[in-house]
Structures are given as C-alpha cells and as structure tokens.
A and B are shown apart, each in its own frame.
Chain A
Amino acid sequence: MEDLLDGWGLTAAVFVPLVGAAVVMAIPRAQENLHKVVALVTSLITLAVAVALAFQFDLDRTDQLQFVVDKTWIEVINSRYIVGIDGMSLPLLMLTAFIVPLVIIYSWNHFPEPHNPKAFLALTLILETGMVGTFVAQDLILFFVFFEVVLLPMYFMIGVWGGEQRQYAAIKFFLYTVFGSALMMVSFLAVYFLAEGPGGESLHTFDMRLLSEWAGANLAPVTGAVIFGGMFMAFGIKVPIFPFHTWLPDAHTQAPTQGSVILAAVLLKLGTYGFIRIAIPILPEAAEAWAPWIGGLACIGIIYGALGCLAQTDMKRLIAFSSVAHMGYVMLGIATLTPIGLNAAVFGMVAHGLITGMLFFIAGSVKERYHTLEIKRLGGLLIQAPHLGWLLGFSTMASLGLPGLAGFWGEFPALLGAYEPGGTASDALFRTYMVIGAIGTIFAAGYLLWLLQRVAFGTPKEEFADEHIHDMHLTDYLSWSPMVVLIVVLGVYPHLINRVTDGAVIQALSAITP
C-alpha cells in the first residue's frame, strides 16, 4: 500500500477524475443517474486517495517533497513529469479533493439550466484534474499545462450554465487569465535559460526543485524583477489582486452556483499558490523588491473590496467582492515574507475556500427559492427557511473572522506578520499596512452583518410573503455539513493545518533575509 501510494498516489489523484470524465462522456445522454453516480464515485475515489496520501504524509518532513515521481515527459525541451507534495501543497490538495464531491452532491437535483448533467459533470471532473495537477506539479511546464487545463471547463461552465451576462463574463475570465499565463510562460522560459548550477554552468531545466536551489543567484536585480513581473501578472490576475480583479465579480455573479463555489474555493488559490510555490522560492531577491508593492496592492484590495461590498445590491456580487477583500489578506500575508505570514496565507486560502464556498452555496439556494438575489427584495429568511437562515448567519460570522471559526486564523496572523516583515521591506510601511488591514476587518464585519440583517432578519417582503419556501434539501445537508464541521474544527484547532505548512513555509522562505 505504502509503495503503491509512493509511486502512483499523486498520479492517481490527478488522473482518476480525467478517466471519470471520459467514462461520463461515453455513457449515453439519457442515463442521467448513471452519470451522477459515476461522477460522484470518481470524485470520492480521488478524495480517498488524497486522504490516504495525507495519512501516509510524513509530518516530520513537511519541508521536503514527498511521494515524488520523476519521469521523462518532453525530452526535447528537458521538461519532466515531476509530481510531489510538501506541507504547502497538501492542504490545498485536500481542499480540492474535498470540495468537488460536495459540489457534485449539491448538484444532484439542482442542475442549472440548460440542465445536461452529462456535460456539466464531465467538465467538473476535468476541472478537478487541472486543479489537483496544479497543486502537485513540480515542473514549470507541467504546472503551466495544468494551470491552463482549468480554463476551458470553467469557460464553458460559465458560458453555458451561467446567468444573463454569461457570455461576457466567460470571455472576460478567459482573456484575463490567458494574458497572465502567456506572460508567465515568457518568465518561465527566461528562468530556464538564465538559471545556473553551483559551478556556473547553465541548468536548462524546468525542475522547480533545482530552480529553487538556484534561487536567482548571480541574476541582475533588474532582470530578476522583470521576470518576477511576468509571474506576478499571471498569479496576480488569478488571485485576483487589485487592479486585475475586475473579471472576478462578473465571473462569480454569472457562473452557476457550482461554478462559483469551485472558483472561490480552489481556482483563486492557484494564483496565491503560484506565488509561494514558484515566484518566491525561485526569485527570492525579486520577491523582496516586489513585496512592498504587493503588500500595498493587497491593502488597496482589502479596502476597495470592502467598499465595493457596501455598494452592492446583489447578494452574489457582494460575496464576490468580499473575495477580493479576503484574498487581499492572503496576499498581505505572502507579502510579509515571514513564516507566520505565509502560514496565515495558506490557512487563509483553505478557510476562504470553505467559507466563501459555503456562502456561494447559500446564495445559490436563495436564488433557486426566490428567483432573485437582489438584497432589497429579500428578507425574513429566518422565518421562511430557518435552517438556511442560520447557516447564512454562521457563514457570515466565519467570513468576518470571528475567533473560534476558521476565518480568524487566516486574517489575524497575516496582520501579525505585517508587524515585522521579512526581507528588506521597511517596518514602518508594513505596520501601516497592518493598520489598514485591521480597519478592513471592521468594514468586513459591517458589510457582512448588514447583508445578514437585510436577508435573514425582519419579515419576508410582500411579494414572497405567501409563497412556500422550501428549507434545506437532503442534498444540501449532505454537501454542506462537512464544510460546516471543518470550519469549526479548523477554527478551534488551527494547528491541524499550521503543523503541516510550517516546515514547508520556512523552506520556501529559506533564501529571504529574515
């Protein structure tokens, strides 16, 4: 078992969903239940593999890559099939494997128009391959390919099953991301040609392990900063960092519920993960030079996202803007270049994935019941659908960073890390960022509580007063309760993730002057 996992575990986690997608596509369109079962089983197998990997994961060596497979792939360009996970990848791999089955369970009877579960499930599974692959790839080209594999399924998911403005939102999402990844490719190639071994010989490799060892040695600072800039564009657009965030509210608002959940829970993390896995370890000096700017943009994102939330009239759009703000905390944590900040960032990624995923689930359910998400038309959810209402309350509390729930452990340590940033950054500057970030949490409490108040409290508006609103379905209980449990568990016992990430984070920052 152990050997099998060692050799095939990660490969299975990546490609089982793809095989599942192929099977789903091979089944005739009429057999809808079979599609659902196959998709669910596939995603559960992936989850089982991920859980097995987590149990086999050696917690004393979180700073090292484990379950490494290194095989020839594209010989002509010296790109290899290298997969492996360390403490930073594991939580995100788990998150992905955890979310996808829940999304499929939620979909069971809730396929958005124009229905067609076959195509929808096949796309979901292809998405999972791309997401898992990105988190385990240890070769830049392999990473790039998985990073891009995600795009097409999401494009079709938004474009076919989305809201009224779906076509605009889909192409906007697609164009933004492709622009970033095109620049990223140029940066990767520059790294490929410039990287040198200890003896000054050209490495000519895409292997992230070797490139992290090189860590930009003997590179002119300007060159390093420009190369970092290419990666910054790719990952920054994906996160998204202000001012590249404008695709996000559109994509989130127009995407079907399932698409929004996957976008928020996993896709945004591909960007932040790229920073801590690739950009910072490979170009630490450039990262130090860029850190104050990234921190600044993160702070703008926190405040801008919060103000954006206050101005929204649509519930889903409000949650989307809150994502901009929350990802700002993650980016601030990363910009501090301290172990505590990066730990907070990884925690924040997982927490945001669970909490915002939850909020999008609820928003989707509200939309399904009331056929609108306009906040001023809603109200009295607690009266008409008490369970749903309470869950909305729970999620908003978690989202605003209430201690004891998962959201807190992403925000608070990030601010703490900003007190004494690593690298060459000025303390004063980052302490200012810390204050701005702290003010942001007040805004967050404001817009989230205001949302809760308007949607859940009071009495139902006249137009819906006599309507029978169905409370939670069985599938809702099944798909949401694991998330709720996890939000509480992580909130009470954050060590669960921090213990895993800490070693890897220190390793990633090893070239940064403390």
Chain B
Amino acid sequence: MHALLAQTTGFTAPPIDWHAIAPELVLLVTFVVVLVVDAFTDEHDKWLTSSLTGLGFLGSAIPLLTLALDDGPARELFGGAYVVDDFALVLKAVFIVSGYLTVLLSTNYIAEGDYWQGEYYNLLLASVLGMTFMASSRDLISIFIALETLSMPAYLLAGWRKRTLTGNEAGLKYFLMGTFASAVMLYGMSLVYGITGTTSLAGIGAQIGGAWGETPIAAVGIVFILVGFGFKVSAVPFHNWAPDTYEGAPTPITAYLSVASKAAGFVALMTLIFVAFMPRDDIYGPLMFVLATATMFIGNLIALRQTNIVRLFAYSSIAQAGFMLAPLATGGESAQVAADSIRAIVIYIVIYTAMNFGAFAVIIAVARKTRSGEISSWGGLYQYAPGLTVAMTMFLFALAGIPPLGGWFAKFQVWRAVVAAETPAGYVMGVIIAVNSVIALYYYANIAREMWFQPVPDGDETPIRVPSALTIAIGVTVVATLVFGFLPGTAGHFGDVAADLIALG
C-alpha cells in the first residue's frame, strides 16, 4: 500500500478538454437530475423523468454540434485513449438520436405498462453514455469500459417486464451471453497486451507488422477480441440470444438493442480492425467473410419462417448485421478499400437507424390496438390505419433496399466497398449480398402483403389512436428515410469521416 501511494505522488492530473467531453457530461448531469427527480416525485408526476431524459438527449446534441462545427484537429484526451474526431462525432450523434427515439417510443409504453419509470430512463441514459464513450475509445481499456457501461444497463432493460416469463428469459439470456462474450474478449485483450505491452490501438497497430504479429498467440488474441464483439452485433453463430431477448424485452428496448447496441458493436469492430489489426487481414478477413455469410444466410432464412413480428425483426436485424459485416471481410485489401468499408458501414448505420426505429415505432403503435405480435393480426391494416400502413410499407421496402427509399443507398455502399477490393472474395461477397437481398425482400414484402391485401382478421376496424410521441418518431424517421433515398448525398457525407481512422496515402 505504501509503495502504491509513493508511486502516486508523482501523479499529475491529465489536462482535460472540457469541450470535447461536453456531450457526455450533459448526459451525466441528466442522469443525476433524473435520479433526484425520480426520488422526490409522486407517482402521478413520474412523466417528468421521461421528459427530462428526452431533453437531456437533445441538450447533449448541442455541444456535439459545436464540436462538429469546429474545424480544428481531432481532440485527443488521456494519452490518445479517448479521441474526439469526426468519426466519433457522427456515431455519437447516431447514439444520441437513437436514445432520443427510444424515449419517444417508450413514453407511453412504459407509463401505461405499470413499469418503474425513473429507473428505466436512468438506465437508458447510462447505456447511451457508454455508447458515446465507445465512439471515442481508441484503447483496449477504454473500449472495455465503454462496452460494460453500455451493456450492464441494457441487461437490466431487457428484463424489464419482470412479471412475464419471456421478460425474465430475455434479461437472463442476454446477461449470461453478454458476460460470456466479455470474458472471451478480455482474454483476447490480455493476450494482445501481453505480447505488445501496450493497450493503445495505435500502438498495437504500429507493432502488428513486427515479430509478435507472426506468433499464433497473436491470431488467438485477435480472433477472441473480434468474436467478443461478434456476440454484441449478434453475428451467427453467436446470435442465439437475440431472438429470445428481442421478443421478451419491452419493444422500445428491442428497437434500441437492434440499432444502437448493434451500432456500438460495429464501432468497436471498425476501430479495432482498421486501427489496430489492419495489416492482419489474413486473420480477420476469412473470419469476417464466414461470419458475414453465415449471418446473412441464417438470419434471412430463419426470418422467412417467423410468424411473430418482433421475432421476425430480430432475425431481420441479424441479417442486416450480416450486410454490415460484409465490408470488414475485404476491407484490409488497401487503405483505400478500408476507407470505403468504413464509409459503407457508417452510412449503413445512419440509414439503418432511421429505417429500423421507424419500423419499431409502427409496430408499437399497431400493438396498442391489436395487443398481439402475430403478423396475421396485421391483416387489412390499410383499411383502418392508412397512414401507419404507408409509413410501415416505406420502412419495409427501405430495409429491403428498394430505391428510391433510403435503404438502397446503404446496401449500395456495402456493394461498392466489397467490389472495390477487386478480389474474387469481394465479387463472391457481392453475389452473396445480392442473393440475400432477394430472400430478405420476401419476408418484408410478406408483411406488406398482410397489411394491404388481406382482410381484417377480427373485423374490428376502429382506428388506432397514435400518441404524439410516436407520431413524432414516425414522422422524423419517414422524412429521414425519404431524404436518404432521394438525396443520398446527405447520408453520404457522414461517410467522409472514414478518413479519421485511415490515413490515405
């Protein structure tokens, strides 16, 4: 103990760029405020927590904007472990918008469902906070801390419907699988650290070409770390938690997990692969090729058989993750291809956020009337909820990648990235993506078919009353889906941040 203290006397606090971490600070302050407000309000005033959380997310977007408008060089904190560059800012924006959309989706769901409100929003804030960390992390330790910060609250949120069996299953399964994945990943990190002697991604990247890169231990370390995140993005064969968790969790949390949590996993994969492991594409290339192919095929084929809409979206989001994994398989070809791959994944995440949140918003709105998750209960939706039907149709065909709706550009960018590699593996991947787009179209069109072509199953045609929070969420996502489709340049600019991770020669 004495020795430890003696060492710390030489400790000087690192300089902190407060502007750079302002978005996180706003979230942190909101967290505290919501906690206090929740403790001192009566039951009928609990709606405050929801509103405050929403305001907190919007508030944290302000420093994000000022940071984005600042043209200075990237801000590095804590010896390069925490970097605020444009790449980080775009993804932080995705996470914060996701958080806000989740609040919009949750407001009525949680308030009317007799769930604990204050704690719910607190955990949501904490989880989003972890994601904003993740976007900036460039060090094994900060990545791990970010991952745990975003995952722990998510485990609890997944099991929020604690009075139902499926709710318990959701939380427990997610927790067990998640911690297992963390353990595997930590082991991998310890191996990499043991050999390189550094936890900084840039430091690892500098040594990767050296002697240690040739040892088998290096391969084990890299694979274990990537597999750990394979769980997070629900890549096949590490996906089996996803359908049960998605079905059992509260639907807004399902939306949140399938978009934001998955995006966080991809952020980590991108930084790890393209900053730390870039030249070792002999290891991660084949691994990602297999993962992407299996994820697309298994996700899509099993989705064909689903009768429950949330489960269908669980498998669809697995398949979508496969599309996002595809560029990682070929991204190591050259710096240019790597930049294309990052661009593709970032654009995919941005567009996917709009499409998938929109679809879940409609699912929640419809479930308010039908009280059922069965796809057959969607029959004839057009006759009593035309607005919701049109919106849902747009989201479905956007997810399927049909122009001129947003999704086509996301898929196009992925195609572009894999073909840009100009390798046989890249072309094969292009064809695999093509085949899978068709399979996916079938089940998306199937929902559209139910809504448009089928009669109302119980003849009950009372219109659906959509709460204003959901209306806003649907409106925002519809506009985004259309704008990204007609003017893809708007989303395309987000991809320019690729240059922050890859130095193009």
Bound complex: CA of A179 vs CA of B404, how far in Å? 17
CB contact between B453 and one of A75, A159, A190, A226 (< 8 Å): that residue: A159
CB contact between B430 and one of A144, A167, A189 (< 8 Å): that residue: A189
The answer to whether A76 and B493 have CB atoms under 8 Å apart is yes
- Name the residue of chain B whose CB is nearest to the CB of A159: B453
CB contact between A76 and one of B434, B452, B492 (< 8 Å): that residue: B492
Q: A175: CB under 8 A from chain B? A: yes
CB contact between A185 and one of B404, B415, B441, B495 (< 8 Å): that residue: B415
Bin chain B's interface residue count: 35 or more
- Known contacts: A171-B449, A178-B441. The answer to whether A190 contacts B403 by CB under 8 A is no
Chain A residues, Cβ within 8 Å of B400: 178
Bound complex: CA of A151 vs CA of B446, how far in Å? 15
Q: B374: CB under 8 A from chain A? A: no
The answer to whether A174 and B495 have CB atoms under 8 Å apart is no
* Chain A proximity mask over B422-453: 1 for CB below 8 Å, otherwise 0: 10000100110111011001100110010011
- Known contacts: A156-B452, A190-B427. The answer to whether A182 contacts B445 by CB under 8 A is no
Q: B416: CB under 8 A from chain A? A: yes
Chain A residues, Cβ within 8 Å of B343: 76
CB contact between B431 and one of A73, A144, A186 (< 8 Å): that residue: A186
Main secondary structure of the interface of A (DSSP, over half): helix
Expressed in whole angstroms, the minimum distance between the Cβ of A153 and any Cβ of chain B is: 11
Chain B residues, Cβ within 8 Å of A77: 412-413, 416, 488, 492
Within 8 A of B (CB), among A130-161: 141, 144-145, 148-149, 151-152, 155-156, 159-160
The answer to whether B403 and A74 have CB atoms under 8 Å apart is no
CB contact between B452 and one of A75, A141, A159, A186 (< 8 Å): that residue: A159
The answer to whether B438 and A73 have CB atoms under 8 Å apart is no
Expressed in whole angstroms, the minimum distance between the Cβ of B70 and any Cβ of chain A is: 23
CB contact between A166 and one of B427, B435, B437, B453 (< 8 Å): that residue: B453
Expressed in whole angstroms, the minimum distance between the Cβ of A376 and any Cβ of chain B is: 30
Q: B408: CB under 8 A from chain A? A: yes
Bound complex: CA of A189 vs CA of B414, how far in Å? 11
Q: B420: CB under 8 A from chain A? A: yes
Q: B145: CB under 8 A from chain A? A: no
Interface centre among A144, A174, A186 (most CB of B within 10 A): A186
Within 8 A of B (CB), among A239-277: none
The answer to whether B434 and A193 have CB atoms under 8 Å apart is no
The answer to whether B419 and A190 have CB atoms under 8 Å apart is yes
The answer to whether A145 and B404 have CB atoms under 8 Å apart is yes
Bound complex: CA of A301 vs CA of B422, how far in Å? 36
Expressed in whole angstroms, the minimum distance between the Cβ of B326 and any Cβ of chain A is: 12
CB contact between A189 and one of B416, B446, B495, B496 (< 8 Å): that residue: B416
Chain A residues, Cβ within 8 Å of B408: 145, 148
The answer to whether A76 and B415 have CB atoms under 8 Å apart is no
Chain A residues, Cβ within 8 Å of B495: 76
Bin chain A's interface residue count: 20 to 34
The answer to whether A186 and B427 have CB atoms under 8 Å apart is yes
The answer to whether B402 and A148 have CB atoms under 8 Å apart is yes
The answer to whether B404 and A175 have CB atoms under 8 Å apart is no
The answer to whether B434 and A186 have CB atoms under 8 Å apart is yes
The answer to whether B431 and A193 have CB atoms under 8 Å apart is no
Q: B397: CB under 8 A from chain A? A: yes
The answer to whether A186 and B415 have CB atoms under 8 Å apart is yes
Bound complex: CA of A148 vs CA of B488, how far in Å? 16
Bound complex: CA of A144 vs CA of B485, how far in Å? 13
- Name the residue of chain A whose CB is nearest to the CB of B488: A74
Expressed in whole angstroms, the minimum distance between the Cβ of A159 and any Cβ of chain B is: 5
Chain B residues, Cβ within 8 Å of A59: none
- Known contacts: A145-B408, A178-B402. The answer to whether A183 contacts B453 by CB under 8 A is no
Chain B residues, Cβ within 8 Å of A74: 409, 488-489, 492
Bound complex: CA of A167 vs CA of B450, how far in Å? 10
The answer to whether B397 and A182 have CB atoms under 8 Å apart is no
The answer to whether B438 and A182 have CB atoms under 8 Å apart is yes
Chain B residues, Cβ within 8 Å of A186: 415, 419, 427, 430-431, 433-434
Bound complex: CA of A156 vs CA of B402, how far in Å? 14
Chain B residues, Cβ within 8 Å of A170: 449
Bound complex: CA of A192 vs CA of B441, how far in Å? 26
Bound complex: CA of A86 vs CA of B446, how far in Å? 40
- Known contacts: A189-B430, A190-B427. The answer to whether A152 contacts B397 by CB under 8 A is yes
Bound complex: CA of A179 vs CA of B402, how far in Å? 12
Bound complex: CA of A482 vs CA of B238, how far in Å? 63
Bound complex: CA of A145 vs CA of B488, how far in Å? 12
The answer to whether A174 and B441 have CB atoms under 8 Å apart is yes
Interface centre among A73, A76, A155 (most CB of B within 10 A): A76
The answer to whether B496 and A76 have CB atoms under 8 Å apart is yes
Chain A residues, Cβ within 8 Å of B422: 193-194
Interface centre among A175, A182, A192, A226 (most CB of B within 10 A): A182
Bound complex: CA of A73 vs CA of B422, how far in Å? 25
Interface centre among B400, B488, B492 (most CB of A within 10 A): B488
- Known contacts: A75-B489, A175-B442, A185-B412. The answer to whether A193 contacts B402 by CB under 8 A is no
Chain B residues, Cβ within 8 Å of A155: 445
CB contact between A178 and one of B433, B438, B452, B496 (< 8 Å): that residue: B438
Bound complex: CA of A160 vs CA of B451, how far in Å? 11
Expressed in whole angstroms, the minimum distance between the Cβ of A167 and any Cβ of chain B is: 5
- Name the residue of chain A whose CB is nearest to the CB of B438: A179
Expressed in whole angstroms, the minimum distance between the Cβ of A28 and any Cβ of chain B is: 12
Chain A residues, Cβ within 8 Å of B419: 186, 189-190, 192-193
Expressed in whole angstroms, the minimum distance between the Cβ of A166 and any Cβ of chain B is: 7
Expressed in whole angstroms, the minimum distance between the Cβ of A181 and any Cβ of chain B is: 9
Chain B residues, Cβ within 8 Å of A75: 489, 492
* Chain B proximity mask over A178-220: 1 for CB below 8 Å, otherwise 0: 1100110110011011100000000000000000000000000
Bound complex: CA of A151 vs CA of B416, how far in Å? 23
- Known contacts: A76-B496, A174-B441, A182-B434. The answer to whether A167 contacts B449 by CB under 8 A is yes
* Chain A proximity mask over B131-143: 1 for CB below 8 Å, otherwise 0: 0000000000000
Expressed in whole angstroms, the minimum distance between the Cβ of A433 and any Cβ of chain B is: 30
Chain A residues, Cβ within 8 Å of B416: 77, 189, 192
Within 8 A of A (CB), among B362-421: 397, 400, 402-404, 408-409, 412-413, 415-416, 419-420
Chain A residues, Cβ within 8 Å of B402: 148, 151-152, 178
Bound complex: CA of A183 vs CA of B436, how far in Å? 11
CB contact between A159 and one of B397, B409, B449 (< 8 Å): that residue: B449
Bound complex: CA of A397 vs CA of B446, how far in Å? 42
Expressed in whole angstroms, the minimum distance between the Cβ of A178 and any Cβ of chain B is: 5
Bound complex: CA of A170 vs CA of B400, how far in Å? 16
Interface centre among A73, A144, A178 (most CB of B within 10 A): A178
Expressed in whole angstroms, the minimum distance between the Cβ of B331 and any Cβ of chain A is: 15
Within 8 A of A (CB), among B458-475: none
Chain A residues, Cβ within 8 Å of B431: 183, 186
Bound complex: CA of A51 vs CA of B449, how far in Å? 39
Expressed in whole angstroms, the minimum distance between the Cβ of A190 and any Cβ of chain B is: 6
Chain A residues, Cβ within 8 Å of B488: 74, 76-77
- Name the residue of chain A whose CB is nearest to the CB of B434: A182
Expressed in whole angstroms, the minimum distance between the Cβ of B478 and any Cβ of chain A is: 14
The answer to whether A160 and B492 have CB atoms under 8 Å apart is no
Bound complex: CA of A75 vs CA of B343, how far in Å? 14
Bound complex: CA of A192 vs CA of B452, how far in Å? 39
The answer to whether A149 and B404 have CB atoms under 8 Å apart is yes
Chain B residues, Cβ within 8 Å of A175: 438, 441-442, 445
Bound complex: CA of A467 vs CA of B159, how far in Å? 68
Expressed in whole angstroms, the minimum distance between the Cβ of B301 and any Cβ of chain A is: 15
Expressed in whole angstroms, the minimum distance between the Cβ of B401 and any Cβ of chain A is: 8
Chain A residues, Cβ within 8 Å of B420: 189, 193
CB contact between B434 and one of A145, A159, A179 (< 8 Å): that residue: A179
- Known contacts: A151-B402, A174-B441. The answer to whether A185 contacts B492 by CB under 8 A is no
Interchain residue pairs A-B with the least CB separation, the first 9? A76-B492, A182-B434, A186-B430, A189-B419, A145-B403, A179-B438, A148-B403, A182-B437, A74-B488
List 9 interface pairs A-B (beta carbons < 8 Å), by A numbering.
Answer: A73-B489, A74-B492, A76-B492, A152-B402, A166-B453, A170-B449, A175-B438, A179-B434, A186-B419
